Amino acid sequence: INMAEYSSDLLIEVAKGANLDVAMFLEDKASSFVKSSYDADQKIAQEMNISNNPSLVIFDNFNQQFGVLLEDVINCELIEKAFNHANSLDHQSQMPQQKKARSVGKSYLQIIK
């Protein structure tokens, strides 16, 4: 893996490589809204013990207190297994035992109206 040290120049290079409007990207990056949104996302990820990228959390519409967290290798087969077990997401033992899937609680979520 070719690793580069984080810098403003690297960030601009990556933004250009992604064909972003670099000026708008830098403006958005500096905004207080983006910073607070990022902090909120990081807090949720920490509370759910998410440590890998990519990660995907699927919640059951009928029992929204629990979900399944899929990490690292997320593929159609694993997502399908999670959906097939949607009615029993509150019991980790009923989710196929996958190294990259585990039950998570939703008590971290705070909805503000």
| Cβ neighbours, 10 Å, residue 113 | 2
pLDDT at 105: 56
pLDDT at 46: 87
CA 107 centroid distance within chain: 16
Residue 35: C-alpha distances to residues 13, 30, 48, 102 (Å):
21, 7, 20, 29
What angle separates helix 32-47 from helix 22-30, to the nearest 10 degrees?
70
SS3 57: strand
Structure tokens at 74: 């997320």
Residues of the chain with confidence (pLDDT) below 70: 1, 60, 63-64, 85-113
Cα-only R_g, the chain = 18
| End-to-end C-alpha distance for the chain, whole angstroms | 44
Instruction: Say if residue 54 is preceded by a cis peptide, omega within 30 of 0.
Output: yes
